[in-house]
Amino acid sequence: MSNLAPTKREVPVNSLASRTGLAAWFRPYVTSTVGSKMLVAVTGLMLTGFVLAHMIGNLKIFAGRTALNDYAAFLKSLGPLLWVARIGLLVVFALHIYLALKLKKRSLEARPINYAYQNTMIASVSSRTMLWTGLAILAFTIFHLAHFTFGWVGPVEANGKMVGNHEPNDAEMPTRHDVYGMVIHGFRQPVVSILYIVAQMLLLMHLGHGIPSTFQSLGLNTPRTQRMIRAVGWLLALVIVAGNIGIVVGVWFDFVKP
Amino acid sequence: MNLTLNVWRQKDRNAAGRMETYKASHISPDMSFLEMLDVVNEDLIKTGKEPIAFDHDCREGICGMCSLMINGMAHGPERATATCQLHMRKFRDGDEITIEPFRARAFPVLRDLVTDRGALDRIVQAGGFVGVNTGGAPDGNEIPIPRERQETAMDAAACIGCGACVAACKNASAMLYVSAKVGHLVNLPQGQPERQQRVRAMVAQHDHEGFGHCTNQYECQAACPKEISVGFIAQLNREYLHSSFGFAEREDSSTGVG
């Protein structure tokens, strides 16, 4: 240990007990390094659950136009419930990004002068690029919403005429939106489909470190389970990404008939 | 052996430092890394130059005083070995070796390669006391402790507080250190009454000292000369959660710890 006489510490030990109330009880989870990581982990797990459900739902595209468009119409018919889910998801997404950036800022400040000789012993590439893969996924998510949810990215051809990406244009039920046709049109554009595949690769890297990492941050890891959790995390990430890429490739090779 | 050394030189806490190059000649492969620096310093003194300041004490790998970032690795390339036990036979004749101090905002450089690691002592101080009976020596085996438990506590207590975990961490986090200190007490019956306050206070002091957060890259475990497991960080996280649920939350529980 250091040969210098330690100076008096400045944090009151009983700051925990001196405050009461739910807000004070929860405060350390927003302010401390350990607590913030737990919130990043919990929100990360929620987002993982979302992308998994999103992927499984979208696999309906392989069941044909009616199946996918029925599914889309069902989600829209949820009405207020859909908005609760959307706002909830937005809050979770925002909290995940905000806390991660806050922690990153903190750790950059924790080492003002970096090493001249940079070296890494065991830290994986995916763990060292979480910030960049995360920000890229955020940018992709914004594009993805603009593309398919808001329909801002280009008009599409449907029923032989050019219409807005998001207008009712289902050939079978003219009053509803043809999600199936929109997806096929989207992924027939090489630039767009390659962008989606690249984004999925980044998602694989992000989740590959992220999913196992949540178990460590929430204290659910032990030396005995560490390797298994790591393998299961990567497998789950791979399943999500493979399912999503499968849709793009399915459109390319006409497994999804126009 | 003849070597080229790039060494960080810094006059004092406030001076700006820089890397300087030195030749180390006639080095025996049987020398320890610190003995090699002793030889270099002898030459520097003979030529009227200021010797390189570095921390050391027991030179048998048990005190935690030696440090050094050697080619970007805390305590050099050999696993489970402190710098004082690292031998020059691990290097090749003609090698260029970069030697830097442990870098963290919480570890200010005092001179050349000497850093103030008092922040780690203040974390232990913040942990407060452990309730034990004083007086005559207790009988052996008076408090029953299962052997597995005892070994786990001992694994954590093997920490020598050198700060290599902080130096190796990409975020300059001291989480492995904190988890070792929390882990060796929480696994023993003696540490139980103060269990909840202790983990909160130590994490609060850790954050207050300006260390970064844990991103589960496990560089710390790879760098640790005592091979402290990151399993203790998971246990620390569990303890942090545990501290939110229990009677330590009572308003009148100001036990005056510390």
The CATH homologous superfamily of the domain defined by B118-245: Alpha-helical ferredoxin (1.10.1060.10)
Q: Is the pLDDT of residue B80 over 90?
A: yes
In-domain check, residue A21? no
Ranges assigned E (strand) in chain B: 3-9, 18-24, 69-70, 73-74, 96-100, 109-111, 114-115
Question: What is the pLDDT at residue B90?
Answer: 97
The residue among A174 and B165 whose pLDDT is bigger is B165
In-domain check, residue A8? no
* Chain A (32-61) residues lying within 8 Å, Cβ to Cβ, of chain B: 32-38
In-domain check, residue A57? yes
Q: Is the pLDDT of residue B217 over 80?
A: yes
Q: What are the CA-CA distances from residue A84 to residues A72, A81, A194, B140 (Å)? A: 17, 5, 32, 62
Specify the range with the lowest mean pLDDT, choosing from A99-108, B105-114, B130-139, B248-257.
B248-257
Strand-pair category, B69-70 with B3-9 = unpaired
Domain at B3-111, CATH from 1.10.4080.10, 3.30.300.30, 1.10.1740.10, 3.10.20.30? 3.10.20.30
Question: What is the pLDDT at residue B71?
Answer: 98
Percentage of chain A exceeding pLDDT 70: 84
In-domain check, residue A176? yes
pLDDT digits (tens, 9 = 90+) for A185-211: 889 989 999 999 999 999 999 999 999
Q: Please indicate whether, in this complex, the C-beta atoms of B231 and A109 are within 8 angstroms of each other.
A: no
Domain count, chain A: 1
- Residue B118 is encoded by which pair of tokens? 């008092």
Per domain, the residue ranges of chain B are: 3-111, 118-245
**How many residues does this entry show for chain A?**
258
Domain that holds residue A152: 39-252
Of B120, B207, B221, the CB nearest to A32: B207
Question: What is the pLDDT at residue A257?
Answer: 84
In-domain check, residue A68? yes
Question: What is the pLDDT at residue B134?
Answer: 85
Q: Please indicate whether, in this complex, the C-beta atoms of B215 and A127 are within 8 angstroms of each other.
A: yes
Q: Is the pLDDT of residue B257 over 50?
A: no
Please provide residue A5's backbone torsions phi and psi, each rounded to the nearest 5 degrees. -65, 125
Percent of chain B as helix, strand, coil, to the nearest 5: 35, 10, 50
Q: Please indicate whether, in this complex, the C-beta atoms of A219 and B172 are within 8 angstroms of each other.
A: no
Q: For residue A177, what is the DSSP state?
A: B
CA-CA distance, A83 to B49, in Å (whole number)? 72
Residues of chain B with Cβ-Cβ distance to A33 below 8 Å are 173, 175, 203, 206-207, 211-214
User: What is the predicted ipTM?
Assistant: 0.92
Give the number of other Cβ atoms within 10 Å of residue A1's Cβ. 17
In-domain check, residue A32? no
Average pLDDT of the segment spanning B52-70? 97
Q: Please indicate whether, in this complex, the C-beta atoms of B217 and A123 are within 8 angstroms of each other.
A: yes
Q: Is the pLDDT of residue A146 over 50?
A: yes
In-domain check, residue A24? no
Question: What is the pLDDT at residue A181?
Answer: 87
Q: What average pLDDT is seen over chain A?
A: 88
Q: Is the pLDDT of residue B138 over 90?
A: no
In-domain check, residue A131? yes
**What's the pTM?**
0.91
Average pLDDT of the segment spanning B237-242? 95
The residue among B252 and B149 whose pLDDT is bigger is B149
Report the DSSP beta bridge partners of residue B6: B21, B98
Question: What is the pLDDT at residue B133?
Answer: 82
CA-CA distance, B59 to B85, in Å (whole number)? 7
